[in-house]
Amino acid sequence: MTVESVRSETPAAGPRVPNRAGGALPLLGHGWQLVRDPLAFMSRLRDHGDVVRLKLGPKTLYAVTTPALTGVLALSNDFIIAGPLWESLEGLLGKEGVATANGPLHRRQRRTIQPAFRLDAIPAYGPVMEEEAHALTERWKAGETIDCTSESFRVAVRIAARCLLRGDYMDERAERLCVALATVFRGMYRRMVVPLGPLYRLPLPANREFNRALADLHLLVDEIIAERRASGQRPDDLLTALLEAKDDNGKPIGEQEIHDQVVAILTPGSETVASTIMWLLHMLAEHPEHADKVRDEVEAVTGGRPVAFQDVRSLRHTNNVVVEAMRLHPAVWILTRRAVRETELGGFRIPAGADLVYSPYAIQRDARSYERNLEFDPDRWLPDRVKDIPKHAMSPFSTGNRKCPSDHFSMAQLTLITAALARKFRFEQVAGSNARTRVGITLRPYDLLLRPVPR
Ligand code: HEM
């Protein structure tokens, strides 16, 4: 596959029209490249300009390829959350959840959820994170094969549900959520890059499976809300904040908004963390020297007792391992925005209503930003080296008003889990394991199977 570019059309004065990436097919445009090898395709676009035009079916999309311009895009008021990714996600997340809302609704919703994610709120989640991290390592027996996909989902869902929704949810729910999200996110991605509308309504097995998974996801959320209401309890948690939220007129928000908000917390909260845990497990198996270094750090910090939430701040190297795994394998690999007015980005003209797209995966692996860019090197995050990394070249949680509210929450649990895993086990690959990158709305290994060996 090649990405040839055509000459930039340069008007006499003013912003330029970006180059167009080559290889577009009639009807599908660049959609086939985004289906066939999207990561390679997105990673090559910077060779053709800081902003590059793509075709998705009849639509023109503007790909932003430099760290600096992704920062401008995320921070400018000229762009909102919208575009093909969000349109397809609305079918999943609903139209009234924080992840897809804009303007005053979005600001109000962020105010509702933000307190649960503030840095000073995180220590209250410490005991649950500790318990779940240790329960995970306790479940695994020496020599057995671990299905890393279901195990990672399980712990991610349990932590999100127990910390934020105070749900004592059965593992069966985590399993259901895992299956439903896997199917729904795969289907959503296809619908985004190959927008063949009516074909997705045909009663084909793949469409039926997608519809079943989507229905179960919404049923799960209804069950969670109904259970809380039936309990008559009002703990001080995110679910209570959502159930009791008021609109700008001081009236209770509607049932649909409550439902969509819970979906908007639970779905990104489990898929992203689960994918990152899978990559961390893969890293521990692939790089035993780094796994040993994590174990040594944990031993030095804890003096042999089980790792605790309060240790997270001292686990500098473990934290750098998590960051480096997220650099090479960002769960969220593609993001979109829409221009609300005609504007300019890096000297390029962006028409009003244009959809823009950028890839944290491409940005975070770019040789122009990182020395030995494809090497797993956690020490690149040491204070004396980190200053060489360009601004916005590492932004797995995004930036600006749409930044993930859960950055502290996620980093704390990921660091704790990595520390608990590396202290107790070494990991070996198992025949039949497939760690190739599976591209959907998030990135994760296809089917990672590992064998834990006690230390
Ligand atoms: C938004 C990444 C974990 C809830 C985002 C965005 C990114 C992201 C990149 C911004 C999207 C954009 O700019 O368009 C991640 C990563 C995670 C993670 C890499 C873990 C490794 C979580 C968790 C939760 C969560 C655990 C909740 C429990 C949300 C929500 C938004 C969001 C609600 C929408 C925010 C808004 O639009 O105002 N996440 N996330 N995320 N994330 Fe996360």
Render pLDDT for 213-249 as a digit per residue (tens, 0 to 9): 999 989 989 998 998 899 888 888 899 999 999 998 9
Indicate if ligand 1 lies below 6 Å from the C-beta of 402: yes
Instruction: Specify the 3-state DSSP secondary structure of 359.
Output: coil
Instruction: Give me the interface pTM, i.e. the ipTM.
Output: 0.99
The pLDDT of 43-66, averaged and rounded, is 92
The pLDDT of 66-79, averaged and rounded, is 97
Strands 59-64 and 79-80: unpaired
| Full-model pTM | 0.91
- Residues 264, 370: Cα–Cα separation, whole Å: 33
With a pLDDT cut of 70, the percent of the chain lying above it is 94
Contact 133, 159 (CB under 8 A): no
pLDDT of residue 171: 64
With a pLDDT cut of 90, the percent of the chain lying above it is 66
pLDDT of residue 3: 37
273 CA → ligand 1 middle, Å: 10
The pLDDT of 107-136, averaged and rounded, is 94
List the residue whose alpha carbon is closest to atom 27 of ligand 1. 269
Q: Would you say residue 11 has pLDDT above 60?
A: no
pLDDT of residue 85: 65
Model confidence band, residue 177 (pLDDT cutoffs 50, 70, 90): confident
Contact 333, 339 (CB under 8 A): no
Indicate if ligand 1 lies below 6 Å from the C-beta of 122: no
Burial of 285 (0-12, 13-18, 19+ CB in 10 A): buried
Q: Could you tell me which residue, 269 or 174, shows the higher pLDDT?
A: 269
Q: Exposure string (b/e) for 412-432, b if CB count within 10 Å is 16 or more? A: bbbbbbbbbbbbbbbbeebee
Q: Which residues pair with 350 in a beta bridge?
A: 343
404 CA → ligand 1 middle, Å: 4
pLDDT of residue 410: 97
Indicate if ligand 1 lies below 6 Å from the C-beta of 404: yes
pLDDT of residue 186: 75
For a mutational test of ligand 1's pocket, the pick from 96, 404, 409, 418, i.e. the residue with the most ligand atoms closer than 8 A to its C-beta, is 404
- Residues 46, 42: Cα–Cα separation, whole Å: 8
Q: Which residues pair with 406 in a beta bridge?
A: none
- Beta-strand ranges (E) seen in 57-149 are 59-64, 79-80, 146-147
Q: Could you tell me which residue, 351 or 188, shows the higher pLDDT?
A: 351
Q: Would you say residue 4 has pLDDT above 60?
A: no
Q: Would you say residue 84 has pLDDT above 50?
A: yes
The pLDDT of 100-129, averaged and rounded, is 93
Q: What is the pLDDT of residues 364-398, one digit of tens each?
A: 999 999 999 999 999 999 999 999 999 999 999 99
User: Tokens 């960051």 — which residue?
Assistant: 323
Looking at ligand 1, which atom is closest to the CA of residue 106? 38
Q: Would you say residue 10 has pLDDT above 50?
A: no
Between the alpha carbon of residue 49 and those of residues 62, 128, 357, the distances in Å are: 11, 47, 14
Tell which residue, 325, 309, 287, 316, has the closest CA to residue 426: 287
Tokens of 313: 């701040």
Q: Could you tell me which residue, 179 or 274, shows the higher pLDDT?
A: 274
- Residues 199, 91: Cα–Cα separation, whole Å: 16
17 CA → ligand 1 middle, Å: 32
Task: Give me the CATH code for the 1-92+333-395 domain, please.
Answer: 1.10.630.10
List the residue whose alpha carbon is closest to atom 15 of ligand 1. 397
